[in-house]
């Protein structure tokens, strides 16, 4: 979704907002490795809180702990679902805007072709 949102952003941005985009092989490997590490930390941070908090706050019996963990996991799932829907809505809007821009551009190109055919 982030790729769909960011397509064409560089084309319409100011020169001061565009950073260095070409990376050497070692920089690409470092960036990829860092992204994978951050992804694993994000995964662990989104999966582990429910069992940890539930085991601490759940009370003495195992069944109570399981109920608390399940409730916390359901709340986490709802939160991440809302986040995913938000990002998908932004991506859908961005793609629709780019499609409209492409259609307008195509219309002007066709109009130019017609006018040049007359000449």
C-alpha to C-alpha distances, 68 to 43, 49, 56, 74, 80, nearest whole angstrom: 21, 12, 10, 10, 18
Read off the tokens for 109: 């190109």
Give yes or no for a contact between 24 and 32, defined as CB atoms under 8 angstroms apart: no
Instruction: Report residue 33 as tokens.
Output: 């490795």
Residue 46 CB partners (closer than 8 Å, separation 6+): 76, 80
Residues 73-96: tens digit of each pLDDT? 999 999 999 999 999 999 889 888
- Average pLDDT over the chain reads 85
- Note the pLDDT of residue 73: 92
pLDDT of residue 101: 85
The rounded Cα 80 to chain-centroid distance in angstroms is: 12
Question: Residue 17 has what pLDDT?
Answer: 58
- Residue 18 confidence (pLDDT) above 60: no
pLDDT of res. 37:
95
Global pTM value? 0.62
Residue with tokens 């085991």: 55
Instruction: Categorize the per-residue pLDDT at 15 as very low, low, confident or very high, splitting at 50, 70 and 90.
Output: low
pLDDT at position 41? 95
Question: Do residues 47 and 61 lie in contact, with contact meaning Cβ atoms separated by under 8 Å?
Answer: no
State the pLDDT confidence band at 66, using cuts at 50, 70 and 90: very high
């Amino acid at each position: 979704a982030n790729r769909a949102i960011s397509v064409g952003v560089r084309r319409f941005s100011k020169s001061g907002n565009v950073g260095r985009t070409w990376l050497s092989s070692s920089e690409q490997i470092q960036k990829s490795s860092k992204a994978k590490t951050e992804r694993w930390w994000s995964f662990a941070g989104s999966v582990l809180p429910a069992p940890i908090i539930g085991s601490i706050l759940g009370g003495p019996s195992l069944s109570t702990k399981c109920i608390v963990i399940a409730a916390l996991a359901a709340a986490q799932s709802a939160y991440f679902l809302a986040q995913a829907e938000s990002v998908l809505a932004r991506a859908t809007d961005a793609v629709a805007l780019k499609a409209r821009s492409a259609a307008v551009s195509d219309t002007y190109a066709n109009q130019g072709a017609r006018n040049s055919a007359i000449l």
